[in-house]
């Protein structure tokens, strides 16, 4: 249902055609019979500022940002929440009734909500592979969640060191070559690299040292069962795929734009898998 009073939100990306967010938000809009719409907006990076200045004048409630806009958007915001400031990136924006443009980051929240039911209070040590934007949100989320020690490993070690310098004593960097050994005593292994994605090589890591109680999770969700998750599952580890992070990170935005907190119901996953093709 969409009337003249309908609330409209969007996703801005370049490209944006691959995004699952329209399928996700439209599912909730239909489920709750909300008068609203969520639309994809392909916007070139050099035109982002121009577009954002126009959106409040169109009555748009807010938007999500995907690559390459999550950092580029910052100069055009009036306000950023604590998580967005700490992560240095914004994925969700609310245009308030007074026209102010308010940036949030819900990636850390989405990551933690996705793994929370599975981690069972064991938060001593996490191993995070990768040092891009996703890894930064994940490290921030893990610190906030109370992990005592986070080992960060990235092919380009300097990027991991630069990231760790923002997070203080909880995060330690090791050389990429030591990834198998780093798993000793870990409660959680996170792949935050793009390895394992369709068309990319798999993540090459030997899981022999990983304790049996550990949880293994991947931010890659195309395919849903990455080679890492397949290997881990075959060895008896509890695995959590990356689709749940995408679903959970969308909850605060939907709530801010459309006025109700949507449930992460079981029907969502098959719906999104169908949208993924």
Q: Does 222 bind ligand ATR (CB under 6 A)?
A: no
Per CB under 6 A, which of residues 158..197 are in contact with ligand ATR? 159, 193-195
195 or 216: CB nearest ligand ATR = 195
* 70 included as an active-site residue: yes
Q: Does 128 bind ligand ATR (CB under 6 A)?
A: no
Catalytic option among 5, 7, 44, 70: 70
29 or 245: CB nearest ligand ATR = 245
Question: Angle 264-269-274 (CA atoms, 0-180°, nearest 5)?
Answer: 145
Cα distance between residue 10 and residue 251, in whole Å: 14
91 or 102: CB nearest ligand ATR = 91
135 or 229: CB nearest ligand ATR = 135
Count the helices and strands in the chain (H runs, E runs): 10, 12
**Rounded least distance, CB 195 to ligand ATR, Å:** 5
Dihedral sign for Cα atoms in the order 208, 214, 215, 218: negative
Cα distance between residue 65 and residue 158, in whole Å: 27
Q: Does 132 bind ligand ATR (CB under 6 A)?
A: yes
Q: For residue 256, give both structure tokens.
A: 């801010």
Edge-to-edge strand list for the sheet holding 101-104: 36-42, 7-13, 62-65, 92-95, 101-104, 79-80
Residues with catalytic roles? 70
Instruction: Kindly list the residues in this chain that would bind ligand ATR in the complex (CB under 6 A).
Output: 130-135, 154-156, 159, 193-195, 201
């Amino acid at each position: 249902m969409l009337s003249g009073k309908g609330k409209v939100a969007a996703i801005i990306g370049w490209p944006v055609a691959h995004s699952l967010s329209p399928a996700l938000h439209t599912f909730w809009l239909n489920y709750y019979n909300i008068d609203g719409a969520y639309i994809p907006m392909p916007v070139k990076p050099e035109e982002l500022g121009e577009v954002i200045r126009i959106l409040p004048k169109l009555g748009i409630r807010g938007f999500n940002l995907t690559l390459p806009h999550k950092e580029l958007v910052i100069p055009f915001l009036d306000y950023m929440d604590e998580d967005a400031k700490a992560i240095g990136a914004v994925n969700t924006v609310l245009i308030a009734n007074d026209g102010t443009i308010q940036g949030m980051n819900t990636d850390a929240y989405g990551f933690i909500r996705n793994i929370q039911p599975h981690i069972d209070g064991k938060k001593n040590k996490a191993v995070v592979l990768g040092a891009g934007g996703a890894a930064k949100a994940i490290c921030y989320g893990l610190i906030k969640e109370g992990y005592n020690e986070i080992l960060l490993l990235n092919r380009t070690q300097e990027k991991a060191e630069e990231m760790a310098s923002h997070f203080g004593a909880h995060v330690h960097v090791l050389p990429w070559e030591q990834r198998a050994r780093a798993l000793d005593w870990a409660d959680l292994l996170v792949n935050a690299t793009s390895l394992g994605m369709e068309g990319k090589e798999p993540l090459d890591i030997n899981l022999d040292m990983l304790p049996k109680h550990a949880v293994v999770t991947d931010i890659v969700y195309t395919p849903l069962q990455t080679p890492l998750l397949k290997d881990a599952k075959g060895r008896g580890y509890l695995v959590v795929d990356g689709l749940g992070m995408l679903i959970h990170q969308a909850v605060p935005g939907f709530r801010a734009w459309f006025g109700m907190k949507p449930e992460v119901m079981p029907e969502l996953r098959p719906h999104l898998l169908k949208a993924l093709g």
